[in-house]
Copies of this chain bind each other. A is one copy, B any other.
Amino acid sequence: MKNYTHINDIDDINSWIKEAKALKKNPLKDIELGKNKTLGLLFFNSSLRTRLSTQKAALNLGMNPIVMNVSGDAWGIEFLDGTVMNGNTAEHIKEAAQVVSQYCDVIAVRAFPTLIEKDKDESELVLSSFVKYASVPIINMESATGHPLQGFTDAITISENATKKKPKVVLSWAPHIKALPHAVGNSFVQTMQKMDVEFVITNPEGYNLNPEITKDTPIYHNQKEALKDADFVYTKNWSSYDDYGKILKTDSDWMITNEKIGNAKFMHCLPVRRNLVVEDAVLDGENSLVIEQANNRTFAAQLVLKKILENG
Contact = CB atoms under 8 A, between A and B. Distances in A.
A32 to B, nearest CB: 12
Interface stretch (A68-76, A141-149, A210-218, A228-236): A68-76
Stoichiometry, as copies per complex, reads 3
B52 A66 contact: yes
Interface string A77-96: 01001111110011110111
A94 B48 contact: no
Contacts of A53: 102-103
B51 A74 contact: yes
A291 B102 contact: yes
Contacts of A2: none
A174 to B, nearest CB: 12
Contacts of A38: 56, 59
Nearest to A273: B85
A247 interface: no
A289 interface: no
Given A95-B270, A290-B95, A52 B40 contact: yes
A49 B82 CA distance: 23
Contacts of A85: 273-276
Nearest to A64: B59
A98 interface: yes
Given A47-B73, A291-B98, A273 B28 contact: no
Contact of A272 (B68, B95, B290): B95
B95 A73 contact: no
A133 to B, nearest CB: 10
Contacts of A51: 68, 73-74
**Contact count band on A:** 35 or more
Contacts of A275: 82-85
A75 B45 CA distance: 10
Contact of A102 (B68, B74, B102, B295): B295
Contacts of A72: 69, 72
Contacts of A271: 75, 90-91, 95-96
Contact of A36 (B28, B102, B104): B28
Interface in A101-134: 102-104
A10 interface: no
Contact of A100 (B52, B64, B66, B103): B52
Given A95-B271, A98-B291, A275-B83, A75 B48 contact: yes
A59 to B, nearest CB: 5
Contacts of A294: 95, 98-99, 102
Nearest to A291: B98
B95 A273 contact: no
A92 B59 contact: no
A60 to B, nearest CB: 8
A1 interface: no
